[in-house]
Amino acid sequence: MQPTFLSRHLKKAVPSAASRRCTLLATTLLAMSMASAHAASTDTTTQGPTPRRNAVQKAPAPTATPAPATEQIISTAHRTRSEQSVSHVQMQRMLPGMSPVKALEILPGVVFENADPWGNNEQNSSLFIHGFNQNQLGFTLDGMPLGDQSYGNYNGLTPQRAAISEVMGGASVSTGAGALGTASTSNLGGTLEFQTQDPMHRAGGQLNQTFGSWSTFRTFARIDTGDFGNGNSAYVAWARQDARAWDFAGHQGGNQVNAKFVHEDDNNKITSFFDWSDKVEPNEDSIYDPQYTTLYKKPFIYPNLNEALKYYNSSAYKDAGLNYRNYYSAAQREDFLAYTKWTHDFSRNLHWDNQIYYHHDGGEGVVAGPISAAGLPALFSAYYPTYSSSQLSEVFGGSGMATRTTEYWDNRGGLISTLRYKLGNHHIELGGWYERNNNTQARRWYPFSASDPTTPYERQQNPLIHQYTNYFYTNTWTTHLQDTWQVSKNFSLNAGFKSELVYTNGTLPVASKTGSTVPGGTIAAVKPFLPAFGALWNITPHEQWFANIQENMRAFQAEGTGNATPWGVTTQEAFDHFREHGHPETSWTYETGLRTNRDISFGPLTHISGQLEYYHVHFSNRLLSVASAPNLSWIVGSANILTNVGSVSTDGMDFSFTTQFGRHFSFYNALSYNKSVYNDNYSTGTSIVPTAGKNVAGVPNWTEKFVASTNWGAFNAQFIGDVIGKRYTTYTNDQHVGGYALFSLNAGYTIHGIPHVRGLKIQGNITNLTNTKGWSTLSIGNASTTYSAYPIAPRMYFLTVGAEF
């Protein structure tokens, strides 16, 4: 089966072909969104739309002193667990069009790294929350699952591809454990929830244009219908971005269209949302062994083909080792996503939410480089055993180069349903989620001719080598039941459990000829009882104590060759052994803390709010791909084994507060400490890797974030800081990279009184204000071996002009 794409046979530069489709798509999507019916709402433990007249109300929150008129940088939910949010306004102030995940980096406990100032590049994206990485967290958009954020798409897409940044209404993080009803099977740690804006009740429009460093040109447009018919409203939005990468000549960007329709009456809310995203992102390349080289960046050579041909025949290429330069590398992604939500209030006490969704992804990761790079001659000799190096070069087009792709095709759809019932002082919730996911991943090789070279912006055709193809078919079933008991006016308890059943069948219709046999078969990740307990106590009208205990399980990733999954091992015997003896990763999370929110009168200080949290996590059955394991030493040629290598213990504290000084100044600060430690050594063949007692690689012990803000009516400005401590780069902690501090500035002014324009806003942004150099995302080395790292983007300037009508 071949992956299929809407633009399969098109060769295009980033802006061209996609731009020509946008006008037609925008018109079509509005009609589609208005024709779709759909259901709305999140569960009682997550933030959702404002309850309607008959909607079941959440358990009472503590009475809090209203904040002054100065805007809050973050908001803190009153729940039994830690949950904090960043608003739409704050996200766009940090940088218009930025990834909503990057906007969350100012929250305590969140460590986000990216070599792109917008945070959009997925290949070099890294996220840690309380010691767990992005593949061990849960992600949703308006309650719909976004998968585990793997770079190799298999069960979802990133938030920035799921919705345009400018239509994101807000984003929140549960840093310890997410709600039981969260549609995720990867959230060992916390959950990240993103919400899109509803249509406005008045007709109007918005047009933003951003210019900036490295030829940045981003356009955003939105049209709102306002209210029409009987409780209906809708909008269509379009964004196009084109920006040159800061260290090579590739251009990052593409087109995206969103449409949303809402119908609301006394007892129902029906919502439809549609997203089309077509993006190409030439990738930043990492530096291997940064401690042993003076390299800071490793730019691609594209589009200078003559320079590339000379380089691959030079001593500089031969001497570079793993730090050789590819001609180009890029991630091409096209997504179609839609959901329909229906929320119905049977009575004041009975509330029902339903959501149905569908997502199709087609894309590829593409690399063009020399056929003589490490490991490739041996690979190609398996397919052309009698060919000399010069004959191989002719096979691949005569240039000495080849084009390699990892091609993705994903179709998934599902249904989420939640029933809430208020019975006296009890708020009972029962829900379920089902998803069917069919995904394909394939590795293929294509010729590269000097007379007709490939580019990062086109889909490849007619491969020379089908190296491997993996098919996966996954059925996910989860249910949850919980009760929140309002024991008294100021004290409540909740208890519940989640059942998680995930069945994945992986097959290998095309196997590699390099001597390894990648297996096929079905493996289940099943936990019928994952309990959760919580308590909430309003100590005073301004202070609150919370506590939460929860168990979670992470299902196996449905990925094959080259990945740390059951289907990524190299023999059928190893697969069968893991199926019989291996276990999915699980975690127990314990968190407790205090919140405050009160007006005060202490000189210039007029208001303070904040949260102090302590957490402990026990992470069991950590999975790692190793060369071999003692109990599998009888497997001949076992080069890649997946095994459980023990547990991890984490202890930490997050302390965040916002102080306000009158109506014009505020200061937000978040200080976090995290100590995540491996509890066990592990084996590779006959060797013991001494990881017991070592810090989890890639996770800093200390982080500090702050935002100093001023607001004078039409004028606002912020100074933002993000300080990251030392991080270890190997599991044995024998290598590390130093900490760094990044600062940014933003300032904006809104002009009113222009005829037919509600407001004209001008905003400037400076990222990496001090032009700091350092390492952002790390690729961890298994032991006392090499690691690789991506550089921090340099200082950049941006100017945005936006008008609302």
SS3 394: helix
For residues 709 and 659, the answer to whether their CB atoms sit within 8 Å is no
Q: Average pLDDT in the 393-407 region?
A: 95
Task: Spell 324-350 as b/e; 16+ CB within 10 A means b.
Answer: bbbbbbbbbbbbbbbbbbbbbbeeebe
pLDDT at 28 over 60: no
Q: Residue 149 — very low, low, confident or very high, per pLDDT cuts 50/70/90?
A: very high
Q: What is the spatial distance between Cα 141 and Cα 161, in angstroms, rounded to a whole number?
A: 11
Using CA atoms of 157, 74, 224, 760 in order, give the dihedral in degrees to the nearest 10.
Answer: -120
Q: Which of 64-68, 132-136, 525-529, 747-751 has the lowest mean pLDDT?
A: 64-68
| Whole-number percent of the chain with pLDDT over 70 | 88
Q: Average pLDDT in the 675-691 region?
A: 90
Pairing of strands 328-345, 268-282: antiparallel
Q: What is the spatial distance between Cα 347 and Cα 391, in angstroms, rounded to a whole number?
A: 76
- Go through the chain and tell me how many residues it has: 805
pLDDT at 124 over 50: yes
Q: Is 148 left (phi over 0), alpha (psi -120 to 50) or beta?
A: alpha
Q: Residue 687 — very low, low, confident or very high, per pLDDT cuts 50/70/90?
A: confident
| 16-804 belongs to CATH 2.40.170.20 | yes
**Residue 685: predicted pLDDT:** 74
**Residue 571: predicted pLDDT:** 85
Q: Residue 785 — very low, low, confident or very high, per pLDDT cuts 50/70/90?
A: low
| Alpha-carbon separation of residue 116 from 16, 123, 253, 612, 638 (angstroms) | 23, 10, 12, 32, 38
Q: Average pLDDT in the 680-689 region?
A: 86
Question: Shortest CA distance to 182 belongs to which of 316, 79, 100, 281?
Answer: 79
Token pair belonging to 166: 């400018």
**Residue 515: predicted pLDDT:** 65
Q: Average pLDDT in the 313-319 region?
A: 94
Q: What is the spatial distance between Cα 628 and Cα 241, in angstroms, rounded to a whole number?
A: 46
- Is residue 390 packed enough to be buried (19+ CB in 10 Å), middle (13-18) or exposed (0-12)? exposed
Task: Spell 170-194 as b/e; 16+ CB within 10 A means b.
Answer: bbbbbbbbbbbbbbbbbbbbbbbbb
Judge if the upstream peptide bond of residue 96 is cis by omega within 30 degrees of 0. Answer: no
**Residue 574: predicted pLDDT:** 87
pLDDT at 334 over 80: yes
For residues 100 and 91, the answer to whether their CB atoms sit within 8 Å is yes
**Residue 53: predicted pLDDT:** 38
Express each pLDDT in 50-83 by its tens digit: 344 334 343 344 444 444 445 668 889 999 999 9
pLDDT at 635 over 50: no
Express each pLDDT in 641-653 by its tens digit: 789 999 999 999 9
For residues 474 and 558, the answer to whether their CB atoms sit within 8 Å is yes
Q: What is the spatial distance between Cα 270 and Cα 272, in angstroms, rounded to a whole number?
A: 7
Q: Average pLDDT in the 381-388 region?
A: 94
- Reported as type and span, the H/E element at residue 174 is strand 168-174
Q: Average pLDDT in the 221-245 region?
A: 96
**Residue 41: predicted pLDDT:** 33
SS3 332: strand
Q: Which of 24-38, 434-448, 574-588 has the lowest mean pLDDT?
A: 24-38
Express each pLDDT in 472-485 by its tens digit: 999 999 999 999 99
**Residue 640: predicted pLDDT:** 66
Q: What is the spatial distance between Cα 135 and Cα 557, in angstroms, rounded to a whole number?
A: 9
pLDDT at 250 over 90: no
Helices first, then strands: H and E counts in the chain: 9, 40
Q: Average pLDDT in the 701-717 region?
A: 97
Of residues 254 and 36, more confidently modeled: 254
Domain boundaries, the chain: 16-804
Amino acid making up residue 361: D
